[in-house]
Structure 1
Amino acid sequence: MRRHAEIAGNRRRGEHGVPRTHEVPYIREVVASGACPQFSRRVVEADDLSFRDQFEFGLACLLTRCAEQVR
């Protein structure tokens, strides 16, 4: 269980504990350049979920998976 929490924390912080906000300038540069149109489209069209929405989505996924295991 501890390992799962560590992995989740790494996802939020980035691989080496650097906040993902550090990556924002680079992502903006890539999007503005037009060099990666598929990536740019995904970034631009992505939903910016609130913490509550992210939590509810994650919880729903978790509960769905648990229900599948019980069957």
Structure 2
Amino acid sequence: MTDSRTPSDLVTEAISDLRQALEDLEHCAACREHPKVWDVAGDLAQGAAGLLSDAAKMKRGES
């Protein structure tokens, strides 16, 4: 399966993932004490970093 997303699509997805991570952490004080919330937020942030890296490579023509 070919990924037809553009660099702009990847950046938009990364921003959405980061917003979701922040929302998860800001949800409530009690949630911030639960390790799983931090794991999920960390996973979203790592995924966003990967998307931004892919977008940068695409812009440089590295695919």
Q: Give the TM-score normalised by the residue count of structure 1.
A: 0.35
Higher relative contact order (Cα pairs below 8 Å, separated by 6+ residues): 2
**Bigger CA radius of gyration:** 1
